[in-house]
Amino acid sequence: MAISNSSWVRAVVERLTIDHVGHRGDGVSTATGEAIYVPYTLGGETVEVDHVVGNHPDRRKLLAVDVASSERTEPFCRHFGVCGGCAIQHWAAEPYQAWKRGIVVETLAQAGIDCAVAPLVDAHGAGRRRITLHGRFGTHDILKVGFSATSSHDVIPIDRCPILDPALDGALDAAWALAEPLTSRMPVTKPLDIQVTATANGLDVDVRGSGPLPTALVTALSRVAEQHRLARLTRHGELVLQRLPPTVKMGRAEVTLPPGSFLQATVAGEETLAALVAERIGKAKEVLDLFCGVGPFALRLAEKARVAAYDNDAGAIAALVKAARTPGLKPIKAEPRDLFRRPLVPPELRDFDAVVFDPPRQGAQAQALRLAASKVPVVIAVSCNVATFARDARLLIDGGYKLGAVVPVDQFRHTPHVELVAQFSR
């Protein structure tokens, strides 16, 4: 039977054999001559699938696993398969880790970057310390608070997420409690985003999408913030209530987080990346930290070296400047600067023994070009996107730098995201 309307097409059930798991975490079948993607499947499996839907003619929905891989494991979360937060909980640790390292190996090879790739370093640690939940009304005007569904903007209501750091305990309850008064005033179609971060003084919450808050609502939200003992509640970065400053420890320093600034997803991820950077910096005395955020690298490196740091997030730079006053640290000069539009140029790079750059997913093409033309002896790249890293690495290699072994880091366990640290020297 075929049912169709303007955006959904339903077809007969198909049987497919999965060849391997692709770079986005979906099983890939090429039996029909074109790549067909089936989430939640593994190489070697035979599966029954249904046509998905709308804008994804090359995707199928898993209905049943007829022949399971010996590497298949039981997912540990009851929301797995509908919640878009995790792509992989059904795969044994060893092949999962080999696959994740393989993403780095294959992407670099495809880009013609010839280098060694170290074993994957697990950095899940205690789990995620920051989440963004969505609040939205569903059918019959029932409020849903949770994560986005797989491949859609639907919200999957969540009461428990086992991959969170225990320091985020209470985050889901607080989000539900905040969403109720906030969404009561919002049009049903508008999504509400609730970002919750675990800090040393409790949960730091920033809500987005609610529109301006009338006084009565501020009072209601403040009451919820008190009841849930939040460290701070902000709306679009504007303070609603602060009980205690939301701080995190970075090396010896204590950083008060600005609302909305970047923070590595796990404590172990931040510590692992910072340790890999510090090892590669060695005895450098003058260090430049580009795309420094609130300073997880700068603040640790300043225990031994003088640091200059740049980022375009003025709030993050202000937080770093304040934390840089920690006794015992060497001087840190931190300034806001858009490094896409105004990358540091070779004369500005002249006095540094080592440069770290850790750009957003787009990479740092303009800055990599300037680094390639510089004489800085050691350049360390930290990246959350292997493809843009490969593009920037090509610029540095063509500029005469030698690339050492790339270290893949798994901070986003159960997802296809992978970070890496790499050293370039001349």
Ligand X SMILES: C[S@@+](CC[C@H](N)C(=O)[O-])C[C@H]1O[C@@H](n2cnc3c(N)ncnc32)[C@H](O)[C@@H]1O
Q: Is 99 in the site for ligand X (CB under 6 A)?
A: no
Query: Is 359 near ligand X (CB under 6 A)?
Result: yes
The crossing angle, in degrees rounded to 10, of helices 93-110 and 386-398 is 40
Report CA torsion sign: 274, 276, 281, 285: positive
Tell which one of 29, 69, 256, 264 touches ligand X (CB under 6 A). 264
**Using CB under 6 A, which of 96, 262, 389, 424 touches ligand X?**
262
Residue with tokens 């294959």: 106
CA angle 202, 245, 357 (to 5 degrees): 95
Shortest distance (Å) from residue 411 CB to ligand X: 11
Cβ nearer to ligand X, comparing 83 with 323: 323
Of the ranges 38-46, 59-67, 87-95, 306-314, which one interacts with ligand X (CB under 6 A)? 306-314
Between 204 and 358, CB nearer to ligand X? 358
Cβ at position 346, least distance to ligand X in Å? 18
Q: 86, 161, 292, 384: which is the annotated catalytic residue?
A: 384
Q: Which residue lies nearer to ligand X by CB, 97 or 411?
A: 411
Site for ligand X in 364-393 (CB under 6 A): 384
In this structure, the chain runs to a length of 426
Of the candidate spans 15-23, 72-80, 95-103, 292-300, the one that interacts with ligand X by CB under 6 A turns out to be 292-300
Checking 12-15 for CB contacts under 8 A at 24+ apart, the result is 13/48, 13/49, 13/50, 13/63, 14/48, 14/49, 14/50, 14/51, 14/60, 15/46, 15/47, 15/48, 15/49, 15/66
| Per CB under 6 A, 360 contacts ligand X | yes
Using CA atoms, how far apart are residues 396 and 367, in angstroms rounded to an integer? 10
Nearer residue to ligand X within complex by CB, 40 or 412: 412
- Among 259, 293, 363, 408, the residue binding ligand X under the rule CB under 6 A is 293
The residue from 45, 204, 206, 313 that contacts ligand X (CB under 6 A) is: 313
Please tell me the count of residues contacting ligand X according to CB under 6 A.
Answer: 18
Q: Is 384 a catalytic residue?
A: yes
Contact between 385 and 242 (Cβ < 8 Å): no
Cβ(205)–Cβ(194) below 8 Å: yes
Catalytic sites, residue numbers: 384
Residues binding ligand X (CB under 6 A): 262, 264, 291-293, 296-297, 311-313, 316, 338-340, 358-360, 384
